[in-house]
Amino acid sequence: MTPVTAPGDDRGPGAVFRIFLRLGLTSFGGPVAHIAFFHDELVVRRRWLPERDYADLVALCQFLPGPASSQVGMALGLRRAGYAGALAAWAGFTLPSALALIALALGLAHSGGALAAGALAGLKVAAVAVVMQAVWAMARSLCPDSPRRLLMLVAATLAVTLSGVAGQLAALLVGAAAGLAGLATPSPPAHPAATATPGADTAGRTPGWRSGIAALVLFAALLVGLALLARVTGDPILVTLDLFYRAGALVFGGGHVVLPLLQAEVVPRGWLSADTFLAGYGAAQAVPGPLFTFAAFVGAALPAPLGGWVGGLLALVAIFTPAFLLAVGALPFWERLRTRPRAQAALAGVNAAVVGLLLAALVAMLHGGALSGLGDLALGMGALLALTAGRQSAWRVVLGCAVVGALTGPWMRTWAA
């Protein structure tokens, strides 16, 4: 039986930081895999919140601009330990990859060769296994009937057919419309516990509506104010802050969308060479945690007066600040809205669509060569069995796959050929 942490054992900001630091060190595979890692660690194992509440948070963060998985982490930390918990969750999940990318930008760290290539191949396989487990678990919970299973498949088809953020938004909107039309209306529970993951801690902290409005006002004020100050003064620090804040505030679709935007801003200005930018881009694919931490690489590689550790950390804070403000601003209204019957009906459809998005991401990972041969397939099956039958935590499986990939990388690549 999966061990369960007592509700009070991991409620403080320090405990939240330690949990998310471990996730930040081991969560490879992009935002969809991150959401799956959060699900395994915080919903299944620690039971911080019910399955439906988690799906609702994921649905909300899919609609917001910025890094969806980081916003889910911030919202989880906020529920668990207030504002300090949100910052602790962000710091723990983000700093490992950010520090590694800053070090790379400064020329302090570089790795390569067959050992590293094999480890990265193993990490990709682990990400596939984690997403498979999440799709299965969430489909059982959120798509229990034929209409919602059909909606899951429709959402997955839309996400595969319409690439990028257009497919994601189309899938979520179709899910909401189907729910409002009564095609995915959940059966009202006879008792509140009926909607909860067994043993889940249903209590959670959320900001009040005044705090939510203040966060949204500050978000808009910084978006407009930084742009005006940068244009009027021409100060390079303000120009840089405006660039990264605007990227975090206006980009839908996650890190893969923000990367070309940053390239269009910094390479033509001569701040970074195209080769340096592409080297950082490649490294960002290889580190755990959110892809938005690529901003730390760009900030560290900037010319004076920024650059270095100060520039990297400044760029990192600037690009993630909109995500924090939007999460704090949206949660109070979301918590009230999602308890209304029509909102619950829409959410039932959106939740089924979220599972469809996970399924589409899994298809994309497989089609993109995440499992490139019989060796990867065998490792992936072993990882999946460890997660399901063996009830092993995701981070242990990830580390195990990395070790196996590093030790057998050349052999696995030869077998794949």
Say what the pLDDT of residue 108 is.
42
Say what the pLDDT of residue 253 is.
53
Q: Are 154 and 360 in contact (CB under 8 A)?
A: no
Q: Are 225 and 245 in contact (CB under 8 A)?
A: no
Give CA–CA dist 135/312, Å, rounded: 35
- Model confidence, pTM: 0.69
Give CA–CA dist 129/152, Å, rounded: 20
Which residues in the chain come in under a pLDDT of 70? 1-9, 108-117, 119-120, 163-165, 184-205, 252-257, 259-260, 275, 278, 282, 285, 368-370, 393-395, 409-417
Give CA–CA dist 192/252, Å, rounded: 34
Q: Are 402 and 123 in contact (CB under 8 A)?
A: yes
Structure tokens at 317: 């804070």
Q: Quick one: how far is CA 66 from the chain centroid?
A: 10
Q: Taken in order 295, 248, 229, 274, is the CA torsion positive or negative?
A: positive
Structure tokens at 301: 């590689």
Give CA–CA dist 408/139, Å, rounded: 34
Say what the pLDDT of residue 132 is.
85
Q: Which tens digit of pLDDT belongs to each residue from 145-197? A: 889 999 999 999 998 888 666 777 788 889 989 988 887 665 444 333 334 45
Give CA–CA dist 87/265, Å, rounded: 28
Please name the residues in contact with 75: beta carbons below 8 A apart, sequence gap of 6 or more.
Answer: 57, 60, 61, 86, 327, 331
Q: Which tens digit of pLDDT belongs to each residue from 261-290? A: 787 788 888 888 776 776 777 677 678 888
Give CA–CA dist 323/61, Å, rounded: 9
